[in-house]
Chain A
Amino acid sequence: MTDVKVSRGTVSSRVFAVLAAAAIVIMAFLPSWGEPATQRKMVELFTLLALAQMWNLLAGFGGVVSVGQQAFMGLGAYAMVSLVNVHGKDMYLSVPISAVIVAALAVPMGLVAFRLRGSYFAIGTWVLAEVVSKVIITVKSLGAGDGVSLKVSGYSVSSRQDLTYWLAMGTGVGSVLLAYVILRSRLGLQMQSIRDDEGGARGLGVNVYRVRFQIWVIAAFWTALAAAPYYLQQLRVQPVGTGGAFSVVQWTAPIIFIVVIGGIGTIEGPIIGAVIYYVLRNKFQDHQTVYLISMGAVALAVALWLQGGIWGTIRRWIGIDLFPVRRRVRTASGQAVAQTSTSAPP
C-alpha cells in the first residue's frame, strides 16, 4: 500500500482566502467610510446572503428542499419582537435568544415535515410555514395581522445603525464560514455522500435521517439569526405583504433564485447569486413585476439546462475551488488517486 496524502486546499483557494480576509476588514469599517444609505443596503444584502447560504446547505448539500424557510424568518422576527416588547429584553441580547428559540421550535416542525420526502417534503414545509403564520396572527400582543413596531430603547440612532450593520455582516459572512466549516467536518462529508449516493451512504453506516435533521435545525437557527438585523433596521414586523416576515415572495422566492442562478451545491454560488440578485433588483426597482418574471424565467432555464448555475459553469471551465470542501487523495509522489465529487447532483 502506497502512502497517500489527503488534501483539500489549493493554491487558488489560499490566494482567495487572503483577498477575502482583506475584503472583510474593509467591509467591517464601512460605517466609518460609507454612506448610511449604503450601510442600510448592505444589511439587506447580508440578510439575503445568509438566508441563501442556509437554503443551499439544506437543498444543495443536504438534499432537503424546503419552500418554508419563511417560517424561520417569521418566527425569528416575532420571537425577537416578543422578547423586546413583551418581556423588556435588550434589542441585541434578544437576537441570539430568539435564534435558540427558533432552533428549538424547528425540532417538532422537523419531526412532522420529515415524514414526507422529496417534492412532498417541499410542499409540507410550505404548509408548516402557513400554519405557523396563521397561529402567530392570532396573538394580539404581537399585533395580530397588522404587524407590530419594535420598542426601541437605550441606543442612539447611529450606534443602532452601526451595531445592526455589524450584526448583519456577522450573519452574512458568518453563514459562509459556517457552511465552509460544516462541509469540511464529518457532518459535511456525510451530507455530500448522501447527496452523491443515498443508498451507498446508508450502506456505509451514515444515518441519513439524523444528518438531514441536524442541518434542518442548524439552518433554522441561522435563518432566524439573519432575520434579526433586517427587522432591527425596519423596526417593524408584519406577517405578510411587502417585507412580511412570513412572505414567500419576500424571502423564499429570492433565496431559491439566488442559489439556483449562482450555483446550487457550491459555497461560491449563493454569494454570486446574492450580489447579482440584489444589484439587479435595485436597478429595476420601478419594474418589480417584470423583474420577478425574468428571475423566474432565468431560474427555470437554469434548472432545465444549466443545473450548475453560474459558479458550476465557471468551475467546469477553469477548475478552481475558492472554498475547497472536496478531499483530494494523492500518493506520496503527487499522483492523484481520487477525489470526492465535484458538484451538485447531475
Chain B
Amino acid sequence: MVWVNAIVQGILLGGLYALFATGLSLAFGVMRFVNLAHGDMAILAAFMAFSLTNSLDINPLLTLLIVLPGAFIVGFVLQRLVFDRVVGVDPSFQIVATFGVGVIIQNALLEKYTADTRGLNVGRLETATIRLNDTIGIGWMPLITLMCAVAVLASLALFIRHTKLGRAFRATSDDPDAARLMGIDVRRVFAVAMALAITTVALAGVLLGVRGSFGPFSGPENLIFAFEAVVIGGLGSLWGTLAGGVTLGVAQLIGNQIDPQWGQLAGHIVFLAVLVTRPTGMFGKVALR
C-alpha cells in the first residue's frame, strides 16, 4: 500500500512540476528560447508572495491576485527590453544572458531575505486531507495544485488552438520570418509568450512555497525538474508536459520510498533513460533542437 501511496503522491507532485515546465515549454515552442532563470523567477514570485502576506496580513493564495498580474507585466517588459536581443541569435548569448539574470535574482534575494528558507502558510487548507484509507490520503493543496496545472494547460491549449493570437503563436513557432511577412507582430507574440511563461511559473513558485520551503538558491533545482518534465513529456506537446511532470513526480517518490537519498536521483535516472532511448520524449512530434 505504501507503493500505491507513493504513486498517488507522485502524481500530485507531478502537477507542480508540470506547472513549472509549462512556461519553459511555451517559450521554447514559440521562439526557441530557453530561460535559465526560469526557476529563479518562480522563487522570486514566492518571495514576493511571502512579503505581501506579511505586510498585508492576508492568506498567501490571495497574493496571487497581485503576483500573477505583476509577473505578466514583468515577463512582457523583460522580453521587450532584454530577451528580444538574444532571440534567434547564437544560443550561447541566450544562455549567458539568462544565466546572468538568474545570478542577479539569486543574490538579490540573498541580500534582501538572507539565506534562510521560508514557507507560505495557508492555514487549515495546508493540512486538510481527503482520507482514502489508513495509508493513502490526498491533501487538498496538492490536489488544487494538480487541478491548477490541468486548468492552465487546458486553457493554453484552447487559447493556442482557437484564438487569433493563438494562431499567431503557431505561425511564429513554425516560421517567424514568414509570420512577419504575413503581417504578424512577431515581437508582440514573443512578449506575450514570455509574459504567459513567467505568469505560469510564478503560480508554480507560489504553490511550491505553500507545499514546502524555498530559499534564494532554490531556483536552479526547479529549473532542472521543469526541464526534465519537458524532455520526458516531449517537446512541442503541452499535454506531454503534464505527462512528463507526473512521470517525474512518480519516479522521485518511488525512489524516495526505496531510500530517501535516492528520491531525486531516481527522477534523474528516468530522465536520462528517456533521453537515451527516446530523445523525442513520450509525446514529442519533433526531434530536439
A and B form one complex: yes
User: Which residue from chain B places its CB closest to the CB of A260 in the assembled complex?
Assistant: B96
Q: Does B18 contact A (CB under 8 A)?
A: no
Is A63 touching B92 in the complex (CB atoms < 8 A)? yes
Q: Does B264 contact A (CB under 8 A)?
A: yes
Contact partners of B99 in chain A: CB under 8 A: 67, 253, 256, 299
CA distance A249 to B103 in the complex (A): 8
Q: Does A135 contact B (CB under 8 A)?
A: yes
B229 smallest CB distance to A (angstroms) = 12
Q: Does B138 contact A (CB under 8 A)?
A: no
CA distance A317 to B33 in the complex (A): 33
Is A122 touching B85 in the complex (CB atoms < 8 A)? no
Contacts A256-B99, A297-B100 given; indicate if A118 touches B272 (C-beta within 8 A). Answer: no
Is B104 touching A297 in the complex (CB atoms < 8 A)? yes
Contact of B93 among A112, A249, A307 (CB under 8 A): A307
Which of the segments B5-13, B201-209, B219-227 contacts the partner chain?
A: B219-227
Interface of chain B residues 72 through 101 with chain A (CB within 8 A):
82, 85-86, 89-97, 99-101
Q: Does B194 contact A (CB under 8 A)?
A: no
Interface of chain A residues 215 through 251 with chain B (CB within 8 A):
248-249
Is B288 touching A117 in the complex (CB atoms < 8 A)? yes
CA distance A300 to B36 in the complex (A): 12
Contacts A67-B36, A119-B91, A122-B34 given; indicate if A127 touches B268 (C-beta within 8 A). Answer: yes
Interface of chain A residues 233 through 281 with chain B (CB within 8 A):
248-249, 253, 256-257, 260, 264
User: Which residue from chain B places its CB closest to the CB of A58 in the assembled complex?
Assistant: B92
Q: Does B190 contact A (CB under 8 A)?
A: no
Is A293 touching B104 in the complex (CB atoms < 8 A)? yes
B194 smallest CB distance to A (angstroms) = 15
User: Which residue from chain A places its CB closest to the CB of B265 in the assembled complex?
Assistant: A134
Contact of A345 among B90, B107, B275 (CB under 8 A): B90
How many chain A residues touch B (CB < 8 A): the figure is: 47
Is B231 touching A289 in the complex (CB atoms < 8 A)? no
Is B224 touching A112 in the complex (CB atoms < 8 A)? no
Contact partners of B223 in chain A: CB under 8 A: 123, 126
User: Which residue from chain A places its CB closest to the CB of B224 in the assembled complex?
Assistant: A127
Is B227 touching A127 in the complex (CB atoms < 8 A)? yes
B219 smallest CB distance to A (angstroms) = 11
A239 smallest CB distance to B (angstroms) = 13
Is B91 touching A65 in the complex (CB atoms < 8 A)? yes
CA distance A116 to B94 in the complex (A): 16
Please, what's the 1-or-0 string for B207-236, where 1 marks a CB less than 8 Å from any CB in chain A? 000000000010010011001100100000
Q: Does B110 contact A (CB under 8 A)?
A: yes
Q: Does A130 contact B (CB under 8 A)?
A: yes
Q: Does A346 contact B (CB under 8 A)?
A: yes
B280 smallest CB distance to A (angstroms) = 10
CA distance A163 to B86 in the complex (A): 45
A301 smallest CB distance to B (angstroms) = 8
Q: Does B276 contact A (CB under 8 A)?
A: yes
Contact of A299 among B82, B96, B231, B265 (CB under 8 A): B96
Q: Does B289 contact A (CB under 8 A)?
A: yes
B108 smallest CB distance to A (angstroms) = 6
Is A300 touching B264 in the complex (CB atoms < 8 A)? no
Q: Does B261 contact A (CB under 8 A)?
A: yes
A–B pairs, 8, beta carbons within 8 Å? A111-B276, A116-B231, A118-B34, A124-B227, A126-B220, A130-B268, A307-B93, A344-B90
What 3 A-B pairs are tightest by C-beta distance, nearest first?
A119-B34, A300-B100, A296-B103
11 more A-B contacts (CB under 8 A) besides A60-B92, A345-B89, A346-B90?
A116-B279, A120-B34, A120-B227, A123-B224, A123-B227, A124-B227, A256-B96, A257-B100, A295-B103, A297-B100, A307-B93
A residues engaging B (CB < 8 A)? 59-60, 63, 65, 67, 111-112, 115-120, 122-124, 126-127, 130-131, 134-135, 138, 248-249, 253, 256-257, 260, 264, 289-290, 292-293, 295-297, 299-300, 302-305, 307, 344-346
